[in-house]
Structure 1
Amino acid sequence: MKKKFYTIGIDSGTQSTKAVLMDVVSGSERAIAVEKYKLYEKDDGSREQNPADWISAVKKTIRAVVKLSKISPEQVLGIGVSGQQHGFVPLDKKGNVIRKAKLWNDTSTQKQAADLIKKLGGLKRTISAIGNSIPPGFTASKIKWLKENEPANYKKLALILLPHNYINYWLTGRAVMEAGDASGTALFDIKKRDWSKKAIRVLDDKKDISKCLPEVQNSNEIIGTLKPSVAKILGLSEKCIVSTGGGDNMMAAIGTGNVKPGMVTVSLGTSGTIFAYSDKPVIDEKAGEIAAFCDSTGAWLPLLCVMNCTVSTELVKTAFGISTDQLGKYAKKVKAGAEGLLLLPYFNGERTPNIPDGKGVMYGLTALNFTAAHFCRAAMEGAAMSINYGVDLLKSKNI
């Protein structure tokens, strides 16, 4: 019987890491494993995770899919990693993580984001310089937060990585980034597809932050092979290659065939994103609400992100002790509009519209609609309302 070969796809998300073992010829799934981890939250808008938890999840899920499939190490030819965007992973000169990573949905850096926009000359000049505004979720504001709030840790800063870059760094020992993920740092000129000297200088005019930024290479390029020590831990061959990979939205675009004009993808998770392919930059010069990202194929990926999507439905599920299946069944019992019950789902602040210190509101409660079914319906409609706001914005740009 002819020996089969496989690749492993890793998706490192906000709630969990998933590993998928796929046949390189047929593209069929052979095994899947998922590992959840903790999110550290504070009332000031902080949302952080320990990068060590991501690595632990990568170890467990890769070993699990290899064990489930009963294959030999040399049958796994390569690994590709996608991950949550924007998260700031600070490393020292020895490659050690300095502190927990501040994530994409961390809104505690809104002051720093506003300061950076002001230093760049205001919103219009900021968008002119990098193609984007600087919401609190973008990486640059988190770097400035570290400088202002933890100067001792900032002094140690030698390398800046994003979540999926850090996993690649652990796998191979090499630090690289790709244009799609780099677009969400607010340190990257999306038109030139290169680091913005102006944005970097504004971030710190004394410390040369450019020396902390990794080189940028294409998503489909090979970073290297597994470090011998890592290969041993994972039970894989040292010859196993690792690709550059990319941000979760960029990889989702490729996975859904969104690599040509006329395609739009809607991704529903902790956040909700709507994005489309473009062969030229699509810049929201007026408000910067549309993220003018590069994609991972050499083109661009105009994107809208709402921070609260399944957040509302998960909260309702927990509050009423129901499953996802029950959530849907309950919601069907109530007519559209939830009989006047409206959920404004800004539980973690919001990016689109940009309300970083926003709060959730349940409006229109009565004795008649105070039921689990009505809450389920309102939670789903609240998330849909936010997504529709993004769809309308993209339509305004003829996408």
Structure 2
Amino acid sequence: MSELYIGIDSGTQGTKGVILDGESGDILDEAYAPHGLLEDNAGMREQHPSWWLTACHAVISRLISGPRVDPSLVRGIGVSGQQHGFVPLDAAGEVIRPAKLWCDTATTAQCAAITERMGGPEAVMNAIGNSVAAGFTASKVVWLKDNEPENYDRLATILLPHDYINFWLTGERRTECGDASGTAFFDVKRRAWSGELLDAMDPSGKLTACLPELIESDQPVGVVRPELAGEFGFADDVLVSSGGGDNMMAAIGTGNVVPGQVTASLGTSGTIYAYSETPVVDPRGELAAFCSSSGGWLPLVCTMNVTVATELTRNLLELSTSRLNEMAESAGPGSGGLLLLPYFNGERTPALPGATASLHGMNSTNYTPQNMCRAAMEGATFGLRYGMDVMQRLGLEPSEIRLVGGGARSALWRQIVADILGCPVLRPRVEEAGALGAAIQAVWCVKTDRGERVSLPELAARYVTMDLTGGAEPDSARKGLYEDIYGRYLLLDKALRSMNE
């Protein structure tokens, strides 16, 4: 009988899950459960980690309750999680306070303080290969020290969101290089924790003792705890793979595990990333020099505002998603001259955490709902184009874009991406790339643990297929038009830098 593998993707808005038939490669079922969000106007974005566990429990329960699923055949579980979040645990393994998320920008002052104590941005880059960005974990830890010293005194373990879910599943406090490389206290070139950064965060040495054990991407975190295994009807030896950050798992789930592939995500945030067999470090700090969760590296550029822009526009105009697409398509390329700088949540690339959005080029004839809808899509995509420029500056050239995320469901948006980035767009058949990638990694882990000689690229080639009807080729005329508009986008960004920095 076929072995089954569960992939979990715990994101900002909710938890998704898939169950993979290891023999046929079929997705037997999918499930979803939403999360809440704690936020304010000062940049705070937090969640209770218990919400993730409740959602994971619900998702797993639904996945194993389907008519095609025998839970006793589940052999492995992989977990994908939103990157950079800070889950503080006390000595008893209890959560001390809500987790600060990747999109929390309330820690900007701590970023500056850490960088100054390191001796400046160049010293930081030399130490870890990345900058100390507002979204990364390091500043959140120092924020706790600065603002909640009693809670900081209780701190015994620092976990990332996916590590915390693994802790719930197994009782083990471990992590892997991919997600760890997004903390800003991890040296991506040496694939090890950075003592220099940890000392800059807290010279007492306390933090070193708070770090989880580092394991390789193909190693298991542990075995599902007996009480959970019994509750779900699992065997007593179900392995939980190392897991990783959502971008690292989506790379696996889109087959982006060999040089030349590029994945772009149209989600709440936008990401564009490629596989590399060697570290790719940006001296300007615009590219995140992450490790992958497949044993290599994953140079990545992140923008904070993609479906944020379209969802805010849709809600403002009281439209359905399909109606927003219809109106955007009717507007035509260029949005009648409207140009959106979509910094609704600040911005990571370029590094403008305190920036705000701007709508430019309005006049008495073009200020229409149709043009606003199109400008939201185009503005968010220009942000991704900026990221592509960064990657190309560092020698990474895409041959094709594998597009994922909620925005990738729109045929119009897929075409806009192809035209603005000037590259063919492919859409993976399985939409939930993070969850699929986590399941594939679980297969890799289980087979490796058994001593079977199988490579992750082989598994990805087997389980990741493209939707032959969901691609888009760049149109030469629109590509030329968008080149001119993108030039205006860059000029607008430059003109507003003094207000946004």
- Measured against the shorter chain, the TM-score band is over 0.9
Of residues 19, 25, 28 in structure 1, which corresponds to 2:17?
Answer: 19
Gaps of 5+ in 2: 397-501
Query: Does the 8 Å contact 1:130/1:190 carry over to 2?
Result: yes
Alignment of 1:151-300 (within 5 A): 151-285=149-283, 287-300=284-297
The corresponding residue for 2:362 is 365
Q: Which SS does the other structure have where 2:286 is aligned?
A: coil
| Amino acid aligned to 1:295 | S
**What is the CA distance between 1:70 and its match in structure 2?**
5.0
| Amino acid aligned to 2:337 | G
Q: Distance in 1 between matches of 2:393 and 2:69?
A: 51
Deviates more, 1:7-16 or 1:366-375: 366-375
Q: Distance in 1 between matches of 2:51 and 2:139?
A: 23
**What is the CA distance between 1:323 and its match in structure 2?**
2.3
| Amino acid aligned to 1:330 | M
Alignment of 1:6-155 (within 5 A): 6-155=4-153
Deviations 1:9-50 (A, max 9, x none): 000111110010110111110000011111111111111111
Query: Does the 8 Å contact 2:302/2:349 carry over to 1?
Result: yes
Number of aligned residues: 396
Q: 1:260 to 1:71 in 2, by over 3 A?
A: closer
Deviations 1:203-259 (A, max 9, x none): 101142011000111122112211122224434333221111111111111222222
| Amino acid aligned to 2:345 | N
Gaps of 5+ in 1: none
Quote the RMSD (CA, aligned, Å): 1.2
Q: Distance in 2 between matches of 1:120 and 1:256?
A: 37
Query: Does the 8 Å contact 2:340/2:358 carry over to 1?
Result: yes
Matched, 1:382 2:379: yes
Q: Distance in 2 between matches of 1:243 and 1:161?
A: 16
Query: Does the 8 Å contact 1:59/1:234 carry over to 2?
Result: no
The corresponding residue for 2:304 is 307
Query: Does the 8 Å contact 1:41/1:48 carry over to 2?
Result: yes
Larger RCO (CA under 8 A, 6+ residues apart): 2
Q: Distance in 2 between matches of 1:31 and 1:278?
A: 32
The corresponding residue for 2:394 is 397
The corresponding residue for 2:454 is none
Deviations 1:179-217 (A, max 9, x none): 010111011011110001111111101142011000111
Query: Does the 8 Å contact 1:79/1:243 carry over to 2?
Result: yes
| Amino acid aligned to 2:385 | N
| Amino acid aligned to 2:187 | D
The corresponding residue for 2:313 is 316
The corresponding residue for 2:332 is 335
Larger relative helix fraction: 2
Q: Distance in 1 between matches of 2:69 and 2:186?
A: 41
**What is the CA distance between 1:315 and its match in structure 2?**
1.0
The corresponding residue for 2:429 is none
Q: Which SS does the other structure have where 1:333 is aligned?
A: helix
TM-score by length of 1: 0.97
Of residues 342, 349, 352 in structure 2, which corresponds to 1:345?
Answer: 342
